[in-house]
Amino acid sequence: MKTHLLAAVFVTVAGTAFAQQPKIQNLRPYDKSGINVFETPKTDTVPFDDVKVRIGAGFTQQFQALKHRNNSTGAAQLYNLRSGFNLATANLNIDAQLAKGIRLNLISYLSARHHQETWVKGGFAQIDASPINSALLDEVFKYVTVKIGHYEVNYGDAHFRRTDNGHSLYNPFIGNYILDGFTTEIGAEIDFQKDGFLAVAAIHNGEIQGNINRTPTRNPSFIGKLGYDKQLNTDLRFRLTGSVYHSNGNASNTLYTGDRGGSRYYLVMEPVGSTAIAQAWSGNIRPGFSRQVTAFMINPFVKYQGLELFGTYEVSKGKAITEANKRDVSQMAVEGVYRFCKNEDLFVGLRYNTVKAELAGIPQDVKVNRIQASAGWFVTKNMVLKAEYVNQKYNDYPAANLLSEGKFKGMMFEASVGF
């Protein structure tokens, strides 16, 4: 508890001390202006004059008022939920401008549901300009970005709109997806952007941390993305991307288990005796593809004036290290967000998310459906207040399973600061 209080105090003090932040090149802003920014753009008007260090943070607090029930014939009983405040979560963001077009990023989780102690999310160097005098490289880096380090993998577009532990300003809802394709890995990524066309190629170590043990066999993971993103006129923007993630063999791949921040819905559909740390991903589907996984995601995005439409269609196949055969999981999500009032400071949103999965130990496919309805207010560009109604249902689980005919629903409230 003292650690969490200190984290909250630090974020408050830091927000005051660093009100006038140095500007860093090719940086996605942590405030409201970072919404609907995907890969960092190549156009940048920030001049380089010296080495600069920028310190920022994200801080989020929820109030949860959810109820759950099931119709299981098993002996286990559901956790006795009551309304109350969830753990306050906090991120520390450090960005440094090292040279023209070269920056360094480091993000730490000061307080998180799964890792409540301070924990480094990752750090990387991003290169958007040639480090040496070369006319050829200068021309190449007009369109190319190189990222090297331990960072959030660029699989799909949904991860650009999700809540990342203490930072939730980009997410118009409170909860993330049921099947949450988010992790960090060590590797390198090359982005190409020209006239709206986008291509991404990346190679990573395939696991959330480094390991030099040869047993079991470890193989790299590969990511590819192709897309088109264009502001067609002053009112209309269109983006469409397709992504693939492939890992042929790891000891512990975490594409769907890499979020150390955990779920926003605390202890829903969990048994009596559960803890927020041990059961940190309540409400999520985690297929357990720790050994092999191949996943595809398609994301359309349209913004017309204040109206945003964003969709996700995802199919994935994989297996755990103890399994002989691969299993399938698929996900579909569609959301509409309308931003209005001065500077689009107010918004309302509706999301439908459904997952069909073949899970280990369950003979038939299961389905999970979720509806989220949200409303929010950006009090300033650095502070947002949100309310969300969520309703999630579990279908086709065996009668003795705790999730049989399971359901949770209710209200969530959230306040978040990001800078």
Sign of CA dihedral 330, 256, 266, 264: negative
pLDDT of residue 204: 97
Q: So what's the architecture of 2-418 in CATH?
A: Beta Barrel (2.40)
- Domain spans in the chain, listed from the N-terminal domain onward: 2-418
pLDDT of residue 216: 83
Q: Check the CA dihedral 341-345-346-347 and report its sign.
A: positive
Predicted structure pTM score: 0.92
User: Bridge partners of 339?
Assistant: 347
| pLDDT for residue 301 | 98
pLDDT at 215: 76
Q: Which two tokens stand for residue 237?
A: 């923007």
Q: Residue 273: what pLDDT?
A: 93
User: Could you report the average pLDDT of every consecutive run of 10 residues in the chain (419 residues)?
Assistant: 45 50 92 96 85 96 97 92 95 96 96 87 95 91 97 97 97 98 97 97 92 84 98 97 95 92 96 94 96 97 98 97 95 98 96 97 96 98 98 97 97 97
> CA 146 → CA 37, 141, 155, distances in Å?
17, 9, 16
pLDDT at 67: 98
Which run of H or E residues covers position 13? Answer: helix 2-17
Q: What is the rounded CA–CA span in Å between residue 414 and residue 58?
A: 13
What pLDDT sits at residue 75? Answer: 85
- 311 vs 301: CA distance, rounded Å: 7
The four Cα atoms 108, 333, 323, 224 give a dihedral, to 10 degrees, of -70
- Can you tell me the distance from the alpha carbon of 188 to that of 126, in angstroms, rounded to the nearest whole number? 10
Nearest by Cα to 173 from 308, 287, 341: 308
